[in-house]
Amino acid sequence: MDLTTTAMIAAVLSGAVVGLLLAVFGGGGSVLATPALLYVVGITDTHMAIGTSAAAVAVSAAFNLVGHARRGRVKWPCASVFAVAGLAGALGGSTLAKQVDGQQLLVFFALAMAAIALSMMRRPRDAGDPLAHISWPMTLRLAPIGLGAGFAAGFFGIGGGFLIVPGLMAATGMTLANAAASSLLSVSLFGAATSANYALSGLVVWPVAGLFIAGGLAGGGLGLRLAGLLATRALLARRLFAGLVLMVAAYVAWQGLGG
């Protein structure tokens, strides 16, 4: 694609928004990255947009992970088991996605966005245990869920946080805040695996990814501060964001169906 000044500015601003959302909501915040690259930045190939967004989201997630870790929100043993188990799934999912027609992939992507939005609207069953720690039974629950979440993340080219966050909470009983922070390790690793797979096929626009990442780092810094301020209104914030995701999902589906 021709990297015009307008496209460069759009990439930085889009990255800033996605970085902010990643910091506030964990993996679910990355769901707007591919639509932003397609409809704001101007990448015309669906697979290229997914590969590029995966690279950018991986770096933004890693940056936000460091910020949450410094604040003591990451449950490293649980997060590591989940992430390592999901790597194989991410590679398998992204390999399959490259074989799917771009327009059909947009429809699948829209359905995934809708599922993410609906999952974010649900109220967590309980507050969770802030002292949750790893055990062998917990490991046996984490690994298969991580594998499935990794496959979905690789296929749809998204962080997979809509599966990672509830998966971590269900398997470990940790709090929503800990799960959102811990999910960023998986988002980063799944995104890196997916982008590497796409890069092997020449489906990553690296200059755009770099600009997106630059914006994401700035947005993530603001989002880390905002996450603390929204702690008492987390559910309302998630539901408002979910409403936005549903609207974008409808537009993506319309485009995928030939609109």
Q: What is the 3-state secondary structure (H, E, C) of the chain?
A: CCCCHHHHHHHHHHHHHHHHHHHHHHHHHHHHHHHHHHHHHCCCCHHHHHHHHHHHHHHHHHHHHHHHHHCCCCCHHHHHHHHHHHHHHHHHHHHHHCCCCHHHHHHHHHHHHHHHHHHHHCCCCCCCCCCCCCCHHHHHHHHHHHHHHHHHHHHHCCCCHHHHHHHHHHHHCCCHHHHHHHHHHHHHHHHHHHHHHHHCCCCCCHHHHHHHHHHHHHHHHHHHHHHHHCHHHHHHHHHHHHHHHHHHHHHHHHHHCCC
What tokens appear for 133 in the block?
Answer: 């720690």
Expressed as residue numbers, the domain containing 109 is: 5-256
Total tally of structural domains belonging to the chain: 1
> In this predicted model, which residue has the larger pLDDT, 20 or 25?
20
CA torsion, points 164, 244, 196, 208, in degrees to nearest 10? -150
Q: Residue 87: which pLDDT band, with cuts at 50, 70 and 90?
A: very high
pLDDT score of 230 more than 70: no
Does pLDDT of 211 surpass 80? yes
pLDDT tier at 170 (50, 70, 90 boundaries)? confident
Determine contact, residues 37/43, Cβ cutoff 8 Å.
Answer: yes
Residue 139 has pLDDT above 80, yes or no: yes
pLDDT at 156: 83
Q: How confident is the model at residue 14, as a pLDDT?
A: 93
Average pLDDT over residues 171-189: 88
Evaluate if residue 195 carries a pLDDT over 90. Answer: yes
Q: Quick one: angle between helices 161-172 and 176-199, nearest 10?
A: 140
The stretch 215-223 carries a mean pLDDT of 87
pTM as predicted: 0.85
Q: Output the pLDDT for position 96.
A: 96
**Under a CB-based contact definition with an 8 Å cutoff, are residues 29 and 22 in contact?**
yes
- Of the candidates 117, 119, 171, the one whose C-alpha atom is nearest the C-alpha of residue 145 is 171
134, pLDDT greater than 60 = yes
- The amino acid at residue 46 is T
Using the CB atoms, write b or e for 239-259: b if 16+ within 10 Å.
eebbeebbebbeebbebbeee
Who wins on pLDDT, 238 or 103? 103
Gap between the Cα atoms of 255 and 134, Å rounded: 44
Mean pLDDT, the chain, integer: 86
* pLDDT(125) > 60: no
Residue 46: predicted pLDDT: 93
Encoded tokens for 100: 């799917």
**Token duo for residue 73:** 């929100």
Question: Which comes out higher in pLDDT, residue 51 or 258?
Answer: 51
